[in-house]
A and B are shown apart, each in its own frame.
Chain A
Amino acid sequence: MNNNIDWKKYIIVFLITGALFLTASYLSNYFGDKKIDQLKSIQDKIAINILSSETQFSLLQESSCKNISGSVLSGELDELGRKLEWSQQNLGSTEEVSYLKKYYSLLQIKDYLLMKKISLGCKVKSAFILYFYTTAENCSLCERESLVLSSLRDKYPELRVYSFDYSIDLSAVKALLQIYKIEDTKLPALVLDDELLTGFHGVEELESRVQESFKLQGTKPEGD
């Protein structure tokens, strides 16, 4: 009759459901790892590009500016940055992601130094913004600043934006923070032409500053 309860069935179904849960989380980890591998390979590619440009620049010095300018596609770095950001939000802040983020910051600094050298040596039209934000706390101004910077970058391909997480544990980034005297209470912070801007800055303001920065260099690349 009704009140004969098949406890075994309740337990078996529980075990099946548990097994399905484990399988699902295994699959999810598997795909998460795949994504991390993908990130790693993008990063390696970029690292080789930067290293190669650096080496090339040192070898040829200023004699062959034509071949060298813009050798590292800033688009690639941007894309990697977006993917890392997404991974941090969706895969959780795993050790691997934060390791990749450190590596990414380092690559950005290297790219910055190299591009600065190239731009000086070869008189290439360019502007650089170092952008400091935080993920340690909820920073809505940082989110808005990121949007402004993305839109500017889309408009001016010669503008290179390097973004750094304030809370990252990497000595090279800490050195940058020291050089520009950046404090965590005044985030977001921007460095443009060695000038520190703290707080939120809108599109119009930054745009005029970027154009100013282009003018300072006084020269335009050939064919422009």
Chain B
Amino acid sequence: MVSISNVIFSILVFLSVYVQVFFFVTFLENRKKIIIRNGKSKLVRYRAVTIAVSCWNEEKTVYKTVRSLLSLNYPKDKIKIFLIDDGSTDGTWDIIRKFARYPNIKVFRKENGGKYTALNLALEHMETDFFGGLDADSFADPESLIRIMSYFEKDPSIMAVAPSVVVYNPKTLVQNAQKAEYHMGIYIKKMLGFLGAINVTPGPLTIFRKKVFDELGPYRHGHNTEDMEIAYRMQKNNYKIEHCNDAYVYTNTPSSVKKLYKQRLRWIYGFINNTIDYKSVLFKKKYGNFSLFTLPTGLISILAISYLFGRMVYNLGDFFYSKILQVETVGWHYATQTSNFDLFFINIRSPLFLVILIYSLVIFAIIFGRKMIEGKWIISLNMLYFLIIFRIIAPFWLLNAIYNTILKRKPAWR
């Protein structure tokens, strides 16, 4: 029986396997280039860097964020820290204004205008050749900046370097699931880095050359994902973005399903809409792997997840329909009896093997991502939480983001 549904299913499975194999082959090609440094690093020349912390109601975490910047292993006179209160209504301002006494810290207060406006204010006041943001819910590892800067020292063509973002102090199940997800994210980012195809320069401590903003202009709204929009713009202009896997930034993650949902809705909405804005970049040789691999991969996963979700809903509906029919026909007692288990009825079809393969490669990505930051091969239950929780909820925020895109309704920031 060859139905259209099965053909679509096979194509999506094929593409998903292709993407995973592509990552894995990239890994095999480049695995010797993945260096994990221990201990203190040194540079030949310490270039001055401006780091802007934009805050909007972050009284709980901003103190620690700034302290983490003050403890960076980097000459104090070479780091300029800008603290920008983007119209907070809580005690954020009272906390950050106390930092004004530090010689290398400048504080700003402005009306609320969104994160990109706060970052642009920092860009206006910047006097250094390097610039980075740090979200006020994230903390930089003491070695992170110096390791990032070593990339710029090594290769003058590099325009931006993204760090490895790690989940800070996970407590809830949802946060532990994200811990595994972020490990996978590190692996994927590294591979995209090798491919020259990174599509997000994350808010927590990505460092840019000033040249990027001089030539391409300041941050834009970017559908509430300004860190994605700037990466797209850089890719469109063939600016090189690298990933420094051993520069760690710890970030607070949504603690509940509801908060996670809101965050992901914003991310996916940003991905879809930035991709639409930059659709002229898609499938063009001159934009490299970003155009031929990263963006199509994102689109494939959106398609695959939505399709699989539809199929699952259909199957569940079918199952319940036949159960209802059973109860109606022969009564509750007989319908709820389960027949004896027989191995014969386990359906071993080819998609099963391929789905197992995809999951194995995803699990490898999580484990290796973790190895890149902890130096050890560790298997933890978090992977299971991640696979289960995201499998169930991801289709909803995806479909919601597609729906919002269609309606052009912008999701709330948080």
Contact = CB atoms under 8 A, between A and B. Distances in A.
A25 interface: yes
B157 A5 contact: no
Interface string B356-375: 01000000000000000000
Contact of A1 (B22, B157, B331, B352): B157
Contacts of B331: 151, 203
A14 B18 contact: yes
Nearest to A152: B330
B65 interface: no
Interface residues of B, number: 41
B345 interface: yes
A83 B348 contact: no
Contacts of A3: 238, 285-288
B123 to A, nearest CB: 24
Given A2-B196, A17-B21, A38-B344, A25 B330 contact: no
B158 to A, nearest CB: 11
Contacts of A35: 344
Interface string A4-46: 1100011011101100110111011001100100100000000
B233 interface: no
A224 B196 CA distance: 82
Majority DSSP secondary structure for residues of B touching A: helix
Given A5-B288, A23-B353, A13 B18 contact: yes
Interface in A81-103: 83, 86, 90, 92-93
A202 interface: yes
Nearest to B348: A31
A10 to B, nearest CB: 8
B14 A21 contact: yes
Contact of B349 (A1, A12, A90): A90
Interface string B315-329: 000000010011001
A1 B240 contact: yes
B29 to A, nearest CB: 8
A83 B349 CA distance: 16
A148 interface: yes
B354 A21 contact: yes
* Residue among A12, A35, A147, A150 facing the most chain B CB atoms (10 A cut-off): A147
B350 interface: yes
B269 interface: no
List the 3 shortest-distance A-B pairs measured between CB atoms, nearest first.
A2-B288, A24-B350, A24-B353
Given A3-B288, A90-B349, 6 more contacts: A2-B289, A5-B292, A21-B14, A27-B348, A154-B334, A203-B330
21 contacts: A1-B238, A3-B285, A3-B286, A3-B288, A9-B26, A13-B18, A13-B21, A14-B18, A20-B21, A21-B17, A21-B350, A23-B353, A24-B353, A27-B348, A86-B344, A86-B345, A90-B349, A140-B325, A148-B330, A150-B330, A154-B334
